[in-house]
Amino acid sequence: MEMMSQHFDVIVVGMGLSGLMAARTAVEMGEKTLIIGKGTGSLGLFSNTIDVLGTLPEGMKMADGLRFWIENHREHPYSKLDWERIEQALFSFRQLFDSQYPFQPIDHKNCLIPTGAGTYRPTYLVPPTMTAGTLSNKRKVLIVGFKGFKDFYSDYVADQLKCRAIVIPLSEFEGHEMSATAIARLMEKESFREALGRAVKKQVEGEFCVGFPALLGIRDPWIAKKHLEKIIGAEVFEIPILPPSIPGMRIFRRFKDWLIQRGVTFLLGHSASKTILHGKRCERIEVSHPPLSQFYSADRFVLATGRFLGGGLKGDEEKIVEPLFNLPVMQSKSRDDWFAKSFFGHHPIHGAGILTDSSFRPVDQKGEHLLENVWIAGSILAGHDCIEEKSREGIEIATGYWATKNAFQI
């Protein structure tokens, strides 16, 4: 059954970080906005901090490093911008979060934070629940794990980080499988934090910092952090763990609440199934939710569906395709060339994506515009390997912001 069409100034397809930034930017410009997405993409899986470019030499200022990177990577999405515009987009993202959970750079450089694998990884913007765990903090550390929780092994992490570990049993999960989400929800209860804090305090042996898996609540991690610190008598920090990412869920919830409060039509759990084109313009998209389907029209569209994980790109026996608009995908000529022979080598498939002009409108290999009122944002863009570069969130924030800005300036 087909329902009547609704019209918007802009429709954003994709609900990962780039799509959310696109919707936020449109709302701030006063535009009537619809955002559609099957799920949260990589945001709810991997995002804990904001990576902008993790391959910079240690100690280099992000502004200096990114300017140099842009000069030497002319096909990269960052090359369509400059540091000042990337910084403007990052500032817009940071403004969304209040003073209790701000994302901040440390001395405007990458910092090194511990991971659930017991290694340190570079990142740029860090929430306050993780700053005490950075490598620059040389104080004595205790790592806390939970008995039966399979996504974080405190003994292993502590062994790699050369510190001490303890494991705390959680009576709430006796006889039950414990999950990251369930523990995070318990962390929001004062009584649970009281009992946990007392159990940890008994085993502190002069440590100044206590590291927990990144589960300090979904809505108010700052309150959980300060409460535990008061009980334990040491500074508390979070360590990223295996998916799902509770910090990523916090980011998504903040965007969702903010957008809905400002009148955005928010269709989570839906996917765009078809587009209606007239020449080089998209007029409508179909959103299928069996047994119903509905068309939505708009003056502008932002495609932010991600790569393979989000369904923005799909691979078959011969090639990689973009399924919604059927846009050409920059890729290796043969499937045999998608992957390097070595697992740790550079895999060309990670650079596949949609070519665009400087405003993020899709173009073919000759630079000819394919669609006049569609803009592309996020990891679906060609010319980057965000995993190897450690640049995923930076690309998503910057291109989501500027693709939308450009859409209303052309």
Q: How does pLDDT run across 61-107, given as a tens digit for each residue?
A: 999 999 999 999 999 999 999 999 999 999 999 999 988 899 999 99
Structure tokens at 379: 């990891």
Domain 2-99+249-407 sits in CATH at 3.50.50.60
**Chain mean position to CA 306:** 11
- Residue tagged 């008994």 (tokens): 202
Residue type (1 letter), 328:
P
Three-state SS at 4: strand
- Point out the least confidently predicted range of 9-23, 334-348, 375-389: 334-348
pLDDT band of residue 41 (cuts 50, 70, 90) is confident
Cα–Cα distance between 266 and 271 in angstroms, integer?
A: 12
Structure tokens at 323: 């399924």
Cα–Cα distance between 17 and 304 in angstroms, integer?
A: 9
pLDDT band of residue 336 (cuts 50, 70, 90) is low
Question: If you average pLDDT over every residue of the chain, what do you get?
Answer: 91
Q: State yes or no: pLDDT of 176 exceeds 70.
A: no
Cα–Cα distance between 206 and 164 in angstroms, integer?
A: 11
Residue type (1 letter), 281:
R
Q: CA distances (Å), 381 to each of 244, 307, 329, 351, 394, in order?
A: 24, 8, 9, 9, 13
Q: How does pLDDT run across 373-385, given as a tens digit for each residue?
A: 999 999 999 999 9
* Contacts with 364 (C-beta within 8 Å, 6 or more apart), sequence order: 328, 355, 370
For the ranges 2-6, 344-348, 353-357, the one whose mean pLDDT is highest: 353-357
User: What is the predicted pLDDT for the residue at 83?
Assistant: 96
pLDDT band of residue 289 (cuts 50, 70, 90) is confident
Q: State yes or no: pLDDT of 397 exceeds 80.
A: yes
pLDDT band of residue 42 (cuts 50, 70, 90) is confident
- When pLDDT is averaged across residues 325-342 and rounded to a whole number, the result is 68
Phi, psi of 248 (to 5 degrees): -65, -40
Top pLDDT among 345 and 326 is at: 326
Top pLDDT among 217 and 176 is at: 217
User: What is the predicted pLDDT for the residue at 44?
Assistant: 80
Cα–Cα distance between 135 and 110 in angstroms, integer?
A: 11
Cα–Cα distance between 14 and 143 in angstroms, integer?
A: 37
Structure tokens at 100: 């209790």
H-state helical runs in 1-136 = 17-28, 62-72, 83-95
Strand segments, DSSP code E, in 233-270 are 235-239, 265-268
* Contacts with 346 (C-beta within 8 Å, 6 or more apart), sequence order: 340, 385, 388
Cα–Cα distance between 284 and 277 in angstroms, integer?
A: 7
Three-state SS at 329: coil
Q: CA distances (Å), 345 to each of 86, 319, 329, 342, 387, in order?
A: 29, 21, 22, 5, 12
- Point out the least confidently predicted range of 90-94, 96-100, 198-202, 276-280: 96-100
User: What is the predicted pLDDT for the residue at 308?
Assistant: 72
User: What is the predicted pLDDT for the residue at 248?
Assistant: 94
User: What is the predicted pLDDT for the residue at 43?
Assistant: 84
* Contacts with 295 (C-beta within 8 Å, 6 or more apart), sequence order: 2, 3, 5, 276, 284, 285, 286, 287
Cα–Cα distance between 385 and 96 in angstroms, integer?
A: 27
> pTM score, two decimals?
0.94
Q: State yes or no: pLDDT of 315 exceeds 90.
A: no
**Percent of the chain clearing pLDDT 70 (strictly above):** 92
Q: State yes or no: pLDDT of 345 exceeds 60.
A: no
Strand segments, DSSP code E, in 77-139 are 104-105, 111-114, 120-123, 125-126
The count of other CB atoms within 10 Å of the CB of residue 53 is 24
Cα–Cα distance between 126 and 255 in angstroms, integer?
A: 17
Cα–Cα distance between 127 and 321 in angstroms, integer?
A: 36
User: What is the predicted pLDDT for the residue at 10?
Assistant: 99
**Percent of the chain clearing pLDDT 90 (strictly above):** 75
Q: CA distances (Å), 225 to each of 103, 155, 158, 375, in order?
A: 16, 22, 20, 40
Phi, psi of 378 (to 5 degrees): 90, -160
Show me where the domains of the chain are located: 2-99+249-407, 131-239
pLDDT band of residue 341 (cuts 50, 70, 90) is low
Architecture of domain 131-239: 3-Layer(aba) Sandwich (3.40)
Q: Would you say 3 and 227 are in contact if contact means Cβ atoms under 8 Å apart?
A: no
Residues found in the chain: 410
User: What is the predicted pLDDT for the residue at 338?
Assistant: 56
Q: Is the peptide bond before 290 cis (omega within 30 degrees of 0)?
A: no
User: What is the predicted pLDDT for the residue at 182?
Assistant: 92
- Point out the least confidently predicted range of 30-44, 247-261, 390-404: 30-44
Q: State yes or no: pLDDT of 340 exceeds 70.
A: no
Q: State yes or no: pLDDT of 294 exceeds 70.
A: yes
